[in-house]
Amino acid sequence: MIDQSVTDFIQIGYQNQEIHPLDVLLKQNQLLALIGKQALDSDIKASMPLPNRLETLDTLVDYAIQENVIKDLESERDILSAKIMNLITPLPSEVNWKFWDLYQESPKSATNYFYHLSRENDYIKTRAIEKNIEFTKSTVYGDLEITINLSKPEKDPKQIALAKTAPTSFGYPTCLLCMENEGYEGHINHPARSNHRIVRLTLNQENWGLQYSPYAYYEEHCIFLSQEHKPMKLEKATFEKLLNIVEQFPHYFVGSNADLPIVGGSILSHDHYQGGQHTFAMANAATEHSFTLKDTPSVEAGIVKWPMSVIRLRSANQTELITAANLILDQWRLYSDKSVDILAQTNGELHNTITPIARYKEKKYELDLVLRNNRTSQQYPEGIFHPHPDVQHIKKENIGLIEVMGLAILPPRLKKELVEVEHYLLDEPHQLDTSHQDWADELKRTKKITKETVGTIVEDAVGSIFLRVLEDAGVYKQNAEGKAAFKRFINSFAHSKGGEKNGHFN
């Protein structure tokens, strides 16, 4: 059986033109060495039809465990799997040559090739991603997307125990986003990257890379990363690089997490952006309350109808668009309004920053600037503009770039917990987590619940909480006081385009 799997794996690579005919024997022997097998029955023919490659991969890894080549641990399985898939993955030089050759045909042809490769060689964990629970919530702002993230497997107790005693890092690669991860074997505290490839590119005369996310949250979820390990920083050069990316890849959006804790991303130590070919609800949200900027006449500007506080800038002129975005960033960094809890700094600690998103739309470049503030208080020690305690039973993690645009990434614990909520609502035996008690009781009081409707009711209620999460994270609330305060900020540097009174919003 294992001889059949070896033969089939090599044949799949040959048929997919991933293995050159002259390389078949070499790859076959390399595969045998990886799984600890000394010989192969040469009379075995490839299966007809050929089996699923990932199922064949599982068989090969299981054999290596059976033969004590590796231990039955998640990390060791992942390391061997990546090494096996590396056999059918071109070298970085070949990937880059093919990518940029196809780019001459079109940017989309190039990314289609690289995305397909990253799926076929199991760098993008397609099987794990399929486990995610996804649904939508219709709101006045558009359809919010909800994902309960089940793609990253939970570590078993043996793995956790070993990870505690193993070195967390050898100082190489410096972080998970460094280019030194390309081809890195990995260990119990570092993911396997033997089959990882990075496309090299230039952004504003800096060396950067393009890769896809192993656990993608949306279509063609990609990461643009600096070759230099340097911290994230929001500045004029950020807008230049974001627009340079959408100029090179006009079919992709790209955005940056904010550069401060609480409102920033999970990795602030390495400069990087996220992009892809997905249209989020925020991108379709309407612009209201237009205004003009004196020194950038080509730039269309306005407040976006969105639960968070978003300014949208549009222009065919990149230079003016960058100038306008930088003006707003500089103004926001120093802006305070105590009436709505916005302070630019306390005791020298800066609080204001921006989550920027760029796209190319209707022959114009577009920048959405999401205003962020990371202040804390006695009432809200985890963040004033962060999910408030009453919704943290669903979402308590930072609200980063992806959530800002309208896609909730919810923790895996909710898969089991929401089932227990449904049992509770139906008066069935349950193990309801106490954190959901008040919420579940409110649903019982206000909803007509049956076996047929309970699932939809719970999903809809989770969607409503995500909307609340976005509203909590918005620095200017969707009420009269918040809208007036937002307009005061706009008036500090701009003029309204319509409904003007003395050059200011009325």
Kind of pairing, strands 206-212 and 345-346? unpaired
Residue 419: CA atoms inside 13 Å, Cβ hemisphere, count? 6
Q: State the pTM of this model.
A: 0.93
pLDDT for the residue numbered 153: 64
Q: CA end-to-end span of the chain, whole Å?
A: 77
Helix (H) or strand (E) holding 496: strand 495-496
**Edge-to-edge strand list for the sheet holding 300-304:** 199-203, 206-212, 222-226, 272-276, 253-255, 352-361, 364-373, 310-315, 300-304, 287-292, 495-496
pLDDT of residue 464: 98
Tokens 């208080």 locate to 377
Enclosing H/E stretch for 373: strand 364-373
Query: In this structure, what token pair is assigned to residue 346?
Result: 């306390």
Backbone angles phi, psi at 50, to 5 degrees: -70, 145
> Can you give the residue ranges of every domain in the chain?
1-69, 230-375+480-505
Token pair belonging to 267:
């990795």
Closest CA to 253 of 273, 220, 275: 275
CA distance 311 to 476: 12
Q: Which residue numbers in the chain have pLDDT < 70? A: 153-167, 169, 496-506
> Per the structure block, which two tokens stand in for 372?
């962020």
- Write down the number of H helices and E strands in the chain: 16, 18
Task: Look at residue 379 and give its three-state secondary structure.
Answer: coil
Q: Which residues pair with 408 in a beta bridge?
A: 146
Predicted local confidence at residue 500, as pLDDT: 40
Q: Given this model, what pLDDT does residue 499 score?
A: 41
Give tens-digit pLDDT for 68-111. 999 999 999 999 999 999 999 999 999 999 999 999 999 999 99
Name every residue whose Cβ is closer than 8 Å to that of residue 411 and which is 6 or more positions away in sequence: 148, 149, 395, 397
φ, ψ for residue 261, nearest 5 deg: -60, 160
Query: What are the structure tokens assigned to 98, written together?
Result: 């093919």
Tokens at residue 377, please?
């208080």
> How big is the chain, counted in residues?
506
Q: What is the pLDDT at residue 170?
A: 79
As a whole number of angstroms, the distance between CA 307 and CA 282 comes to 9
Beta bridge partners of 71: none
